[in-house]
Amino acid sequence: MAWGSMEDFEPCDDDFDFDDFVLFRQPGVNPNKKRKAEVHRDRSMVDVSGAIEYSFGVSVRLAQGRQKQKPDEQVAGLKYFLKVWRTELPWIKRRPTAGPFTHCGLCDYLKWQIGSCSDKGLRQKLQGILGEHFQFQAAQRVAMSQIFRESEEHPEDVLAVAWDKMDQAKTIVPRVVRLANTQFMKGGSRLVVSLIGVLAPALFKQPLVYTILEDQTHGGDMIASMMIDILQEAAAIRGELPSRLFIQADNTVKETKNTICLFAAAWLLAQLKGTRLQSIEFGYLVVGHTHDLIDAMFAYISKALAGRDFYSLEEMISILQRVMKSPPFWKHLRDVYAFKDAQPEKLSSKRVTGVTQPNNVRIFWGKDGSILVQSKQWLTSPDWGEAMVLVEQCDIQQLTQLYPDIVQPDWEEGFERRSAAWFKKLGDLLLCL
Ligand SMILES: [Zn+2]
């Protein structure tokens, strides 16, 4: 094994964590070598090589041979260490960082063009365009943060709420780490938990997570129902409604950016006529340029759950509440209302079009008692577009009399039977392990 000469070793300032390394220990340890690894249990090259020998059965001659020549505190530099790692132990993989974010198409296209461009002048021009694009997106994020700051300073004026749904592959119940990669576990009829992270700094300093299972409808109905729940929380916590509700959501048509949520917002305004609530506004960041606090929260959630077993939804949440520095509140979204089915044709996508384009939309009461809608292309656009009538004054009464039904929970055909049988098998299996 080519460890190189001693001259390659130099005192190392990098804080390499011995325990981190050992986490990736492969099975097939050599028990005869155990004592040696324990003998050298300080942070020296001798240790690490001892541990490697112990863990992987790789013959490392360095430890015994060179110990006499160099004092223990002298270890390999990071560069050399990584080179050795790459050459000798390529099968030891580091866990990839959590949260695969969706990329921005324009960024990826420009980077691709820059990478394949041989003309220096053109490349500089493209880099300039990419730089401007970054600056523009950063300005959107600053504008968004400004609204949240305003909400913390004046919660009676504006209640800013941000929400997003986590990648559900990470929150499937149960999880048994030892069995995670088996076909039995992967193919089992388990509970897919959708986790929606909510931040509303004017209401609570900790994050709030909503969970919802596959027995409930997702999409616009789910989001509209959550909107009602959040407003109820706001009224309960603050004792009054804000005059403006601002919602930052994922920039997708599937959930918030659609006419179902727009209808739900108009319905809420109509139901709450005469209260302080005067406008409901939606703001979106560009896909691939969000990297917001909710993304950070999801990374903490992934980290908290990594390598842990849980057998129920309650157990999964209790891990989050125990492990996370900022333990989340938890609500299971039980009441989902059928806004989609109750949507009047006048407020459906047949009449209301173009909702996917603007990144800032607000609906509010007009002076004549109608509900108006207005949009801006960007959060930073200086002026709102022309106000259009979303609900005419004569239709308001009808809107207030609409009561969307509760969506009854319903599992997919045969799911409960299959799931119960699978859980039974899992129980038997765990008894055998
Ligand atoms: Zn971009």
Contacts of 355 by beta carbon, 8 Å cutoff, 6+ apart: 253, 257, 258, 259, 262, 349, 361
Distance from the alpha carbon of residue 103 to the mean position of ligand 1, in angstroms: 7
Q: Domain segments of the chain: what residues?
A: 6-88, 156-400
Distance from the alpha carbon of residue 140 to the mean position of ligand 1, in angstroms: 12
Under a CB-based contact definition with an 8 Å cutoff, are residues 241 and 157 in contact? no
Distance from the alpha carbon of residue 132 to the mean position of ligand 1, in angstroms: 10
Distance from the alpha carbon of residue 322 to the mean position of ligand 1, in angstroms: 37
Q: Exposed/middle/buried for 266, CB within 10 Å: 0-12, 13-18, 19+?
A: buried
Give the pLDDT score at 36: 42
Q: What are 105-164's pLDDT values in tens digits?
A: 899 999 999 999 999 999 999 999 999 999 999 999 999 999 999 999 999 999 999 999
Under a CB-based contact definition with an 8 Å cutoff, are residues 299 and 98 in contact? yes
Give the pLDDT score at 216: 92
Under a CB-based contact definition with an 8 Å cutoff, are residues 233 and 129 in contact? no
Which whole-number Å values give the CA distances from 183 to 155, 173, 186, 412, in the listed order?
50, 15, 5, 22
Distance from the alpha carbon of residue 251 to the mean position of ligand 1, in angstroms: 14
Distance from the alpha carbon of residue 284 to the mean position of ligand 1, in angstroms: 14
Distance from the alpha carbon of residue 105 to the mean position of ligand 1, in angstroms: 6
Give me the percent of the chain exceeding a pLDDT of 70: 81
Residue 73's pLDDT band (cuts 50, 70, 90) = low
Say how many Å lie between the first and final Cα of the chain, rounded: 38
**Block residue for tokens 């949009």:** 375
Contacts of 272 by beta carbon, 8 Å cutoff, 6+ apart: 231, 241
Residue 269's pLDDT band (cuts 50, 70, 90) = very high
Distance from the alpha carbon of residue 299 to the mean position of ligand 1, in angstroms: 21
Distance from the alpha carbon of residue 141 to the mean position of ligand 1, in angstroms: 13
Give the pLDDT score at 116: 92
Question: Which of these, 283, 280, 285, lies nearest to 158 by C-alpha position?
Answer: 280
Distance from the alpha carbon of residue 117 to the mean position of ligand 1, in angstroms: 19
Distance from the alpha carbon of residue 300 to the mean position of ligand 1, in angstroms: 25
**Degrees to nearest 5, angle at CA 232 with 255 and 160:** 60
Distance from the alpha carbon of residue 143 to the mean position of ligand 1, in angstroms: 17
Give the pLDDT score at 95: 62
Handedness of CA 315, 318, 319, 320 (dihedral sign): positive
Distance from the alpha carbon of residue 104 to the mean position of ligand 1, in angstroms: 4
Q: What are 324-342's pLDDT values in tens digits?
A: 999 999 999 989 999 999 9
Q: What are 41-50's pLDDT values in tens digits?
A: 333 333 444 3
Distance from the alpha carbon of residue 220 to the mean position of ligand 1, in angstroms: 26
Report residues near ion ligand 1: CB below 5 Å.
104, 106-107
Q: What are 53-71's pLDDT values in tens digits?
A: 333 333 334 444 444 555 5
Tell me the one-letter amino acid at 104.
Answer: C
Q: What are 374-393's pLDDT values in tens digits?
A: 999 999 999 999 999 999 99
Cα separation, 289 vs 293, in Å, equals 12
Under a CB-based contact definition with an 8 Å cutoff, are residues 292 and 169 in contact? no
Cα separation, 42 vs 242, in Å, equals 58
Distance from the alpha carbon of residue 42 to the mean position of ligand 1, in angstroms: 46
- For residue 39, pLDDT over 80 is answered with no
pTM as predicted: 0.75
Tell me the one-letter amino acid at 23.
Answer: L
Distance from the alpha carbon of residue 53 to the mean position of ligand 1, in angstroms: 46
